[in-house]
Structure 1
């Protein structure tokens, strides 16, 4: 076996785990029921990942306290609110997970405190270790009383006892990590208390210590308890985080204190540390977007492992098994934690075991289906895998009659539709006007930080080959193609075209696609018109290539209309734009470009920008001409992707799955 060391067993405490892969904890929003248990979606979701080969599943965050941050159901499970319901539904889940040889830990949180996302947990007053500013709201948090701390600690003991009864193999405490409530006690920047829970590092970690002691009291000393741990906070100030490579004064936990904290946590009896870095004030560290390098926690995990004698688990974009195996060989960590890659492909571990790497559907780190939806809609899903969190609802529908289906367009919508049709037993035929499949994934994946977009396009190409789908490249389908070939159904996924308008010297006015594909050279100095996601990512790509870039945006801020974008992605990109000296001019409408000068109208007059070129990133228009030609002449015809409504990769894939699964 090529990746032998990833499939050797390991022990956390006395518990043996069959391989070195854990499913990282991700908020189980939408997976709980109205009584604090798990709903069928949650049970199916975790069982599906166990079937896919994961050695250890760590559930997303759950709660045990019911007094301080009162539960709001259905949202996330609570192990003490209704113990009978929690145990009953959890028992069903753990029994199914165990059938596949996987182990499962319940992740339990002390609460959110100052980082509560308002849409998720209702209208209770925000709390913290001290009176500090809330992360999202214009409010000051109320300090917890000692009695409230004791109550939360007691709830951990009761909740862990219920989890043990329900068949969970251990607990992961959430956390001295990411700036959640227990971490707010651990970090002196947030903790100005003068009682036994403030002051020295050991006092600030007393909350975590008492939780471990209480679980040992209720569940016995041999019941494994891990802890999610951020070695370094990356805080420049309240709501201000540091970028990779940036020099700054750490206001949170620095590495030196992180090492001491790790030693104390081991001394307190924790059986493993699940390591990352960051806080909500530097959220892109804890939820790394595509702008963050792969495996960004390697150094933090290595430092932690050097100073403790308990297993170190490492998360953070470690989807490449070559990187994972090197991390084990070089004593960087003991286990690899996969989060979003298990959303994109629940079979990723089995495919690694069988060395079927080309069959792994890649996570593109967009966070639109997972964290973006968690923040906005309290749902966990996946942009590239429509079945995530909806496993039972989206099972492939059996077919009663095999149909020949014409798919016009080989972008993500067309590819997904063809893939699903073929999986179900239909006969799709794809016509693509360009020389390769992938549509907007190809220019979108041109920047170095968007490599996974190209990987997704390659995955679709490989999957359609594996499924023996007939594909015609460099072939533009027209009305005659549709009407003369005896198809039972037609899917039109002809995409979109960039919006362009005349500015004067239009020979030097380009689209983002032309620039990204290397068809046009912007020169040394360019202006990007439009500060949406496409414009900002293009600006970052160009400035990293040494170009001088200005963004001109008609609205009052950049990325004002994209969404639901995860705050980690949006805020990191905003800061990268500033950090890389991209000039931004908002509330400006361009009027004319002539002789290397672009003019724009502002509220207080006119501004001129020197530019070798202008790149228009002002949106796209649906290309639905073919559909309109045939929509009243074909019995079963569907319009998908940008051709139906210009949107993002997620909705193109999801809509295609929905339609193709019901033909």
Structure 2
């Protein structure tokens, strides 16, 4: 496929963009590490070298009380210019263009001094905000303009004013959070005054060729939010106030509708984007769940937008744009929207990286280029750890042979991709297959490697990546015909009855429950997704919300765990709530603190708080953890063959592809 629209130039203010692909703003927390400015410069310069048309930085607050968390950055002093000039100069050396995002978090700021248009704590923040006085609002307008001035002095091509996702400006525009009775609250016109005054003040403070981008909430997904017609009118006023480009934001962080997890179909929000595009004459940028050039080209070709913003996809592959230009889209290391290494880490006060690309955010830590000596390396196991090691080692010039006992590569990824909302794992498998072939990795499928295959000096290095095996709990009747493993279920090897009990409520248990409930199209079709989550596709209702459709599950599912804590407590911060919400709607029962005594013809025998129960079920499905597959260890040791162990073969903790790929990549660059 060719990408004529995606690869065409576009002028915004005085800046000519070489293509329509933009790296969207993303909080990384790199500024909290050692050598922060060097890390940020390397991070953005790597994406610039990958030919992305424009880079938007993570958010910088104009004032200390507007930071996302206590360690988040502020730009409000000329003393800070040298560190920013390091970033802009490195991006420019790499041939890129970069815009600074100005973000005041409002009542989302995780600091005790947080402020908002009106009183009222956000449900995602422990700190209640103080309401701003009228004088303070006008002072904030000046603070935005001052930060924009500093950005221009630092060498940025423009600023993006963050006005969506429920941050401060969005809190002013929505009636649900703005209860003011001064010139900044009350009527529709007054609620819009704050952002419009900011745009005008910024425009007046900077050069006419300096880009002023405004990120608008195209659909609030909050009760009491704006309607589509109101958003269109707001967009027209944003243009009139002096913005050069409008970027699209979707939903608020506290919305009960997912907006960018893998459960959201690709390009799901295009109708909301088009509503803004049809209202203005300046360029409009689409965002959220655009992770491949084919989707991006389709959006621009349709006329719904002029550019596409992709944040996480540029974590996954900094060369996204270059590969698109060269016709190498099958070589793109695609963002699978898992959020495990990016958003989940940010929301738990850690730095962002990427599950499929551990180098992201750690550019200064990884060696580049070929190895000093090309070695013969055997890899045993073709799951995520084995494939990641093989690709990275082969790229460094090593001669790699990959042994996989099964008839196909992928290991437990082949089960993960079957779970509703996880079809993006297919893209990870495609990437590895393509890159293994490109780098001449010799693959032996259906071959269970032996000591004879690996020893005798045939290889200089041996890497064991044999993964995990399901753990079988010690329960009387565990071999009963009713009992199935999660592998039996997710591979389709077993027929599952209408009523089931799931033993184990970690990530695998929740995935199996969702798999068994049906509705596998929800994450693939926008219409199914909108119906399930109560989204008004026409955006005619306040906030774009409707009552969600009732879910009619195809099975009755009961989940159990031994721990007394709430089921799903350790699921991903940004995605776990989605899984739990779906299962609640499907009336899945969840029992904590269970002790299992037997499985027999009558069903599952268990007790809670000393009280015994028998649950009649057709099947009992084991999701009770894993153990490392270490069959070869003793034999290799006895034969004197030295080896490395990575992935689940090293540590069997859930199906942790994040740790497995990181460990594999680090080993590959060390050999």
Return 260-269 or 401-410, whichever deviates more. 260-269
State the SS of the aligned residue for 1:506: coil
CA shift, 1:489, in A, is: 1.7
In the TM superposition, what whole-angstrom CA distance separates every residue of 1:573-612 from its partner, at most 9, and x where no partner exists?
1111112333333333333332252233122623333322
Using a 3 Å threshold, how does the CA distance of structure 1 residues 534 and 253 change in structure 2: closer, same or farther? farther
**What is the match of residue 516 of structure 2?**
542
In the TM superposition, what whole-angstrom CA distance separates every residue of 1:398-435 from its partner, at most 9, and x where no partner exists?
42322212211111111111111111112222111111
Contact in 2 for aligned 1:627/1:639 (Cα 8 Å): no
Q: 2:209 & 2:667 partners in 1: Cα distance?
A: 51
2:106 to 106, 113, 131: 113
**What is the match of residue 241 of structure 1?**
none
Report whether the alignment pairs 1:446 with 2:434.
Answer: no
Q: 2:476 & 2:175 partners in 1: Cα distance?
A: 55
Q: 1:273 & 1:285 partners in 2: Cα distance?
A: 22
State the SS of the aligned residue for 1:387: coil
1:657 to 644, 659, 665: 665
Report whether the alignment pairs 1:255 with 2:228.
Answer: yes
**What is the match of residue 209 of structure 1?**
196
Report whether the alignment pairs 1:164 with 2:160.
Answer: no
Report whether the alignment pairs 1:275 with 2:248.
Answer: yes
Contact in 2 for aligned 1:230/1:277 (Cα 8 Å): yes
Normalised TM-score (structure 1):
0.90
Using a 3 Å threshold, how does the CA distance of structure 1 residues 581 and 273 change in structure 2: closer, same or farther? farther
2:307 to 309, 312, 335: 335
Using a 3 Å threshold, how does the CA distance of structure 1 residues 25 and 284 change in structure 2: closer, same or farther? farther
CA shift, 1:167, in A, is: 1.6
1:102 to 96, 99, 104: 96
In the TM superposition, what whole-angstrom CA distance separates every residue of 1:517-556 from its partner, at most 9, and x where no partner exists?
1111112222222222211122112212533322223333
**What is the match of residue 600 of structure 2?**
594
**What is the match of residue 11 of structure 2?**
11
2:612 to 597, 606, 609: 606
**What is the match of residue 588 of structure 2?**
582
Count of aligned pairs: 632
Q: 1:99 & 1:137 partners in 2: Cα distance?
A: 40
Report whether the alignment pairs 1:219 with 2:176.
Answer: no
Matches within 5 A, 1:231-242: 231-235=218-222
**What is the match of residue 455 of structure 1?**
427
In the TM superposition, what whole-angstrom CA distance separates every residue of 1:80-136 from its partner, at most 9, and x where no partner exists?
24x24x322322332332345432211111x222223x4xxxx43332211102333
Q: 1:661 & 1:631 partners in 2: Cα distance?
A: 25
Return 406-415 or 258-267, whichever deviates more. 258-267
Output the aligned Cα RMSD.
2.3
CA shift, 1:152, in A, is: 2.4
State the SS of the aligned residue for 2:101: strand
Q: 1:28 & 1:156 partners in 2: Cα distance?
A: 22
Report whether the alignment pairs 1:315 with 2:287.
Answer: yes
Q: Using CA pairs below 8 Å that are at least 6 residues apart, which structure has the higher relative contact order?
A: 2
Q: 1:380 & 1:632 partners in 2: Cα distance?
A: 42
Using a 3 Å threshold, how does the CA distance of structure 1 residues 518 and 485 change in structure 2: closer, same or farther? farther
State the SS of the aligned residue for 2:500: strand
2:440 to 468, 471, 482: 468
Matches within 5 A, 1:483-494: 483-494=455-466
CA shift, 1:149, in A, is: 2.3
Contact in 2 for aligned 1:27/1:61 (Cα 8 Å): yes
Contact in 2 for aligned 1:272/1:312 (Cα 8 Å): yes
State the SS of the aligned residue for 1:429: strand
Q: 1:455 & 1:635 partners in 2: Cα distance?
A: 35
CA shift, 1:448, in A, is: 4.3
**What is the match of residue 377 of structure 1?**
349
Using a 3 Å threshold, how does the CA distance of structure 1 residues 503 and 6 change in structure 2: closer, same or farther? farther
CA shift, 1:141, in A, is: 2.0
CA shift, 1:21, in A, is: 0.9
**What is the match of residue 239 of structure 1?**
none
CA shift, 1:303, in A, is: 1.3
Report whether the alignment pairs 1:132 with 2:120.
Answer: yes
Normalised TM-score (structure 2):
0.89
**What is the match of residue 550 of structure 2?**
none
Contact in 2 for aligned 1:600/1:607 (Cα 8 Å): yes
Uncovered stretches (5+) of structure 1, i.e. residues with no partner = 236-249
CA shift, 1:396, in A, is: 2.9
In the TM superposition, what whole-angstrom CA distance separates every residue of 1:465-502 from its partner, at most 9, and x where no partner exists?
11111121111123333332432222111111111234
1:92 to 86, 94, 100: 86
**What is the match of residue 60 of structure 2?**
62
Q: 2:250 & 2:309 partners in 1: Cα distance?
A: 14
Contact in 1 for aligned 2:21/2:308 (Cα 8 Å): yes
State the SS of the aligned residue for 1:174: strand
Contact in 2 for aligned 1:62/1:108 (Cα 8 Å): yes
Return 411-420 or 141-150, whichever deviates more. 141-150
Q: 2:127 & 2:153 partners in 1: Cα distance?
A: 40
Q: 1:320 & 1:71 partners in 2: Cα distance?
A: 29
Q: 1:435 & 1:270 partners in 2: Cα distance?
A: 56
Using a 3 Å threshold, how does the CA distance of structure 1 residues 33 and 207 change in structure 2: closer, same or farther? farther
Q: 2:430 & 2:81 partners in 1: Cα distance?
A: 44
Q: 2:84 & 2:32 partners in 1: Cα distance?
A: 11
Report whether the alignment pairs 1:554 with 2:550.
Answer: no
State the SS of the aligned residue for 1:7: coil
